[in-house]
Amino acid sequence: MTNVSGPETPAIVAEDVRKAERTDRIVGTVQRQGALAVLVVVVLIALATFPNFRSFDNAATILVAAAPPMLIALGMTFVIITGGIDLSVGSLYVLGGVLAAWASQYGVLAAFLLPLAVCGAIGLANGVIIAYTRMAPFIVTLAALLGARGLMRAISSEGSETYLVQSDAFRKLGNGSFLDIGYQVWLVAALVLIGIVVLARSRFGASVYAVGGSEDAASLMGVPVRRTKVWVYVLSGLLAGLAGAINAAKLGSGVTVLGVGMELDAIAAVVIGGTLLTGGAGTIAGTIAGVLLLGVIQNLINQVGNLNSNWQQVISGAFLALVVVVQTYLARLRRVT
């Protein structure tokens, strides 16, 4: 800005630009991969200090526990990159679990299709209302949080009835493993890979970033803004329903008391993973690191026998604050240089 050009400035300017670009790249990388870096450090420390952490079984346990939150956070990443938010996922997760457990009496396929259909439909309603009435995503999905929880209670006799999974095959899907790693983990890994490709390489992914970056600009460029918004909420609903279904398969029943506050945990994981709530930026790899980081912290706290398990929340909150503060400073540094 201050470079008033004289005859000898071009070289200096070029040097400045190169320097700025380098800072920009470093800051950007740290911002994007910060959660991953912290995760690696935490895991290394844990490996060195906790003998029980080192076992393969423990790693598998962490991954299986992280599977449902991972799916929810995956959908949330898409929503947040468009500049939106989805508070209904915790309710949809529980609803999906109850529906899956109930539907399992009609076979494995029904156990998956019913929660996907219902939760997808609620996601669709969210998306259509948000995209076409321009009501705040926060409020629309807050209403969906209440509505979906009401629906869940209505079909479970006010939460008192627990549907047991009737299908052995469905339960096996939840508890079985391939190469000693749970089926759920494989499923999640596959979906995450698809998510990464879709977000980074597809036209839809480009639209998601464009809508979050600047809705008006995206609209002018011919990006289908409304359709993109509708789809991210459908995606979020579907993934939350699926997360509920695989959890029901694991537990063998549709538990009605889960999921409270889960939407905020998912948002926390996404934010720790470097996705900005202002939209337009973020990666799925970051989100995965965010979910795993929270999972590893929980696992470590469980390992320290004398440490009250309530510390988990305190430490997660502190981590969240630390990471977002660092991110904000980095973002500012980037803008200045």
Partner 1 sequence: MSTETMATRPVVDAARIRAWLPKYGVYAAIVLLVVYNIFFTPYFATWSNLRIQLIQVAPIVIVALGMALVIGTEGIDLSVGSVMALAAAFIPLYLGYGVVAAILVALLAGVAVGLINGILVARVGLQPIVATLALFVGGRGLAVVISEGKLVDIRNADFLYLGSGDLLGIPVLVWIAALMVLVVGFVVRRTVFGRRLLAIGGNRPAAELAGLPVKRVLITVYVVCAVLASIAGLLSVARIQSSDASSVGLLIELSAITAVVVGGTPLTGGKVRVLGTVAGALLMQLVIATMIKHNLQPSTTEMVQAVIILIAVYVARERKTR
Which residues contribute to the site for partner 1 (CB under 8 A)? 85, 129, 133-136, 138-140, 142-147, 149-154, 158, 260, 264-265, 267-268, 271, 277-278, 308, 310-318, 320-321, 324-325, 328-329, 332
For partner 1, give the closer residue by CB, 173 or 271.
271
For partner 1, give the closer residue by CB, 206 or 333.
333
287: Cβ contacts below 8 Å, ≥ 6 apart: 73, 74, 76, 77, 269, 270, 273, 275
For partner 1, give the closer residue by CB, 225 or 249.
225
Query: Minimal distance in Å, beta carbon 79 to partner 1?
Result: 13
Query: Minimal distance in Å, beta carbon 320 to partner 1?
Result: 5
Query: Minimal distance in Å, beta carbon 125 to partner 1?
Result: 10
For partner 1, give the closer residue by CB, 63 or 129.
129
For partner 1, give the closer residue by CB, 151 or 196.
151
For residue 327, what are the CA distances in angstroms to 29, 94, 216, 285, 286? 11, 32, 26, 16, 13
106: Cβ contacts below 8 Å, ≥ 6 apart: none
In angstroms, the CA 115 to CA 108 distance is 12
In angstroms, the CA 146 to CA 306 distance is 38
Query: Minimal distance in Å, beta carbon 298 to partner 1?
Result: 12
- Kindly state the tokens that stand for 170: 């469905």
Query: Minimal distance in Å, beta carbon 208 to partner 1?
Result: 19
In contact, 275 and 283? CB cutoff 8 Å: yes
For partner 1, give the closer residue by CB, 306 or 308.
308
Residue type, 27: V
Query: Minimal distance in Å, beta carbon 46 to partner 1?
Result: 20
For partner 1, give the closer residue by CB, 140 or 281.
140
Under DSSP, is residue 181 helix (H, G, I), strand (E, B) or coil? strand
In angstroms, the CA 167 to CA 171 distance is 6
Query: Minimal distance in Å, beta carbon 313 to partner 1?
Result: 3
H or E segment to which residue 178 belongs: strand 177-178
For residue 146, what are the CA distances in angstroms to 18, 65, 122, 151? 52, 26, 12, 9
Q: Where does the chain have alpha helices with state H?
A: 9-49, 56-81, 89-103, 108-133, 137-155, 168-175, 183-201, 203-213, 215-220, 225-251, 262-272, 284-303, 311-336
In angstroms, the CA 174 to CA 171 distance is 5
For partner 1, give the closer residue by CB, 95 or 232.
95
For partner 1, give the closer residue by CB, 166 or 312.
312
Query: Minimal distance in Å, beta carbon 276 to partner 1?
Result: 9
Query: Minimal distance in Å, beta carbon 148 to partner 1?
Result: 8
In angstroms, the CA 246 to CA 168 distance is 14
